[in-house]
Structure 1
Amino acid sequence: MLKLITRSLRTALVAGLAGAALSAVPAVAGTISIGHTTWVGYGPLFIARDLGYFKAAGLEVELTTIEESSLYMAAMASGKLAGTASTIDEILKYRSAQFCFRSVVALDESSGGDGIVVAKGIESIKDLKGKAVAVNEGSVSMFWLSYLLKKAGLSLKDIEVKNMTADDAASAFIAGRVPAAVTWEPNLTMVKQKKVGKVLVDSSKTPSVIVDVVALRCDVIKQQPKDVQALVDGVNKAVQYMKTNPKESAEIIAKGLGGYLSKPEDVVDSLKGVRFYDTKGSAGLLGSSAKPGPIKDVISLANETWSAIQGKTLTVSYEDLVDTHFLSVSH
């Protein structure tokens, strides 16, 4: 989903974000603007918008596709966006005392939609040691790969990283230029169909690790609590709608997202690798300040992973990144 940002460029961007945050545009009551990439997991936002769930609660939600994380985070820091829909590990890199934002609801987790494809002879993650692996540096794909390597007693230093987007990584693998690649659907299915390799592991084996959230600027959360609650409640209603209206949901998502998901049938295929959170599920994942949920472990892993990759220590806490005040299932 995300393109490469070199370390020097990323440092400059983070510095710029901090400066932009100091002069952010004030929040506007009744409106929440969200930037996002083209990912099926953001479907509930389009469903809640198009079916009027947000509007019924007096909220106008503006959804803007921005395929580069540094750009949508810069837009949020400058006040052009109230928030973003993204993986929590990705946004963690931008959190600072000057740029305050928190996750208010979990949207989805990848549950089979991401995977590692490998050539013959590679039977485990440990077998990747010393081999070239195509992966998008600085992206959630690298974060997930780092997680899997760590579980196998390895690290990114034990492999040869070949920086490529997820689509290019799949193409390079199919062409035989690399023995392993980190990618996602529909590339995983393509590899199976072409019988050029196999899926070594997919994200269904790592629940609650690749997690998408809606994160909002702290001033928006403070100044627009009713709007934030309307957003969270609308997402919950959309998830419930998806359970009983899969065909109609796919059509709405395809129309809203477009791009490689512009056809309902493509949305249906992509949805097979995604698990959505209703309010109860989101509350269970995020937990509370008194008892943080599993997301705290993801935050710790993200700090460790990005610190190693960027060469500087990140210490973003659970409290820095999560606000669960809007996830009560009894209100």
Structure 2
Amino acid sequence: MSKMFFQTGRKKSFSSYKLAISAAIALGITASSVAQAADTPVAIGISGWTGFAPLTLADKAGIFKKNGLDVTLKKVPQQSRHLAIASGDLQCAATTVETYLTWNAAGVAVKQIVQLDKSYGADGIAVRPGINKITDLKGKTISVDAPGTSSYFLLAWMLDKNGMSVKDVKLATLGPDAAAHAFLAGQNDAAVSYEPYLSSIRQSPDKGKILATTLDYPMVMDTLGCTPDFLNKNPKAAQALVNSYFEALAMIKSDPDKSNEIMGAAVKETGKQFAEEASYLRWQDLEQNKKFFGGEITSFSKEAATLLTQMKILRKTPDYDALFDPQFVANASVAK
């Protein structure tokens, strides 16, 4: 409509201009309504995990909105996030790389489009005094989230690297938050958790200690993925999601105090508290994303698939190329 009124080859008179504006108003096509209509709705499933905070920042700081997106962030437990996708309640979700293997194997197709973070000590196992190495966990009771979650996979990964499996320990199924609280309350011998909950254990050395983290076993990395249907129908919106993530990282770099306050408020923390917890991970910038989608994602997925198959969580070898779409990182623009 704007082209018809304002972009002909002839020079318009002021009266013609007023007539055009009047016609647009009569049709209800004001600039604000056009912008509002252009906002693509998308629901994204997340958790309180510190690594997902740039998505919260992009939402609260108006970055998503500025880029033509009407984003709703929904906190959904990791073990049921794919069910929300299958029901249509979510179009996208953030989770760990290996989780997409189990989701796609379960018939819930989701493609990763941007890497969010890598854990640098933000995920780990807390233990009671007297437990000094992974093999000391044999026969012990460990609080850990359900199979199919990142916490369960982290435990299985660490045990496997030490010649053990989950069959060598006793499991008490608790989510990361509940696992940390139970550990602080004196329950069970060990707990698998992540930030911000792991810091509550770090701050209570009388209760126990952190035995191992992703500094010792670097295997926790998160991505944002969307359904193929959403990506096919809304490629511009998908690109805007990826661009918005990088724009949020730029804001964190240029205004860390304000950014930390916004991200901390989402989990009821001060900016200082949030910044401390965020120091245990690394958000991934554009160059790191290009490297990740250039080969890292496939090599890690193959190693993860081997372990998941041994655990009988995966029944067949997945199509690794179907797990991600690198075009949105390749075409990403970064705000200056």
* TM norm structure 1: 0.79
d(CA) in 2 for partners of 1:68, 1:200: 24
Q: Secondary structure at the match of 2:103?
A: coil
Letter in 1 for 2:287: K
Letter in 2 for 1:77: A
d(CA) in 2 for partners of 1:159, 1:101: 32
Structure 2 CA distance for partners of 1:104 and 1:196, relative to 1, 3 Å: same
- Contact preservation (8 Å) 2:39, 2:68: no
Tell me if 1:199 matches 2:201.
no
2:251 to 227, 241, 261: 241
Tell me if 1:113 matches 2:115.
no
d(CA) in 2 for partners of 1:168, 1:319: 36
1:166 to 176, 184, 191: 176
d(CA) in 1 for partners of 2:286, 2:185: 43
1:100 to 89, 102, 109: 109
Q: Which residue of structure 2 lines up, in the alignment, with residue 225 of structure 1?
A: 235
**CA RMSD across the alignment:** 2.6
Unmatched 5+ stretches in structure 2: 1-37
Q: Secondary structure at the match of 1:213?
A: strand
C-alpha displacement at 1:186, in angstroms?
4.5
Q: Percent identity?
A: 31
Unmatched 5+ stretches in structure 1: 1-27
Structure 2 CA distance for partners of 1:105 and 1:312, relative to 1, 3 Å: closer
Structure 2 CA distance for partners of 1:279 and 1:153, relative to 1, 3 Å: same
Q: Which residue of structure 2 lines up, in the alignment, with residue 323 of structure 1?
A: 325
2:302 to 297, 300, 303: 300
Q: Which residue of structure 2 lines up, in the alignment, with residue 190 of structure 1?
A: 200
C-alpha displacement at 1:323, in angstroms?
1.0
d(CA) in 2 for partners of 1:170, 1:53: 33
- Contact preservation (8 Å) 2:78, 2:95: no
Tell me if 1:285 matches 2:285.
no
Structure 2 CA distance for partners of 1:315 and 1:221, relative to 1, 3 Å: same
Tell me if 1:84 matches 2:86.
no
Q: Deviations over 1:283-325 (max 9, x none)?
A: 21232xxxx22x2243234434444445651432321211111
d(CA) in 2 for partners of 1:286, 1:248: 31
Q: Deviations over 1:11-47 (max 9, x none)?
A: xxxxxxxxxxxxxxxxx98333212112221221222
Q: Secondary structure at the match of 2:146?
A: coil
- Contact preservation (8 Å) 2:121, 2:215: yes
C-alpha displacement at 1:154, in angstroms?
1.5
d(CA) in 2 for partners of 1:91, 1:29: 28
| 1:249-288 → structure 2 map (5 Å cutoff) | 249-255=259-265, 257-258=266-267, 261-287=268-294
Q: Which residue of structure 2 lines up, in the alignment, with residue 32 of structure 1?
A: 42
**Segment drifting more, 319-328 vs 179-188:** 179-188
Aligned length: 294
1:44 to 34, 54, 61: 54
Structure 2 CA distance for partners of 1:319 and 1:162, relative to 1, 3 Å: same
Structure 2 CA distance for partners of 1:185 and 1:227, relative to 1, 3 Å: closer
Q: Secondary structure at the match of 2:125?
A: strand
**Segment drifting more, 178-187 vs 216-225:** 178-187
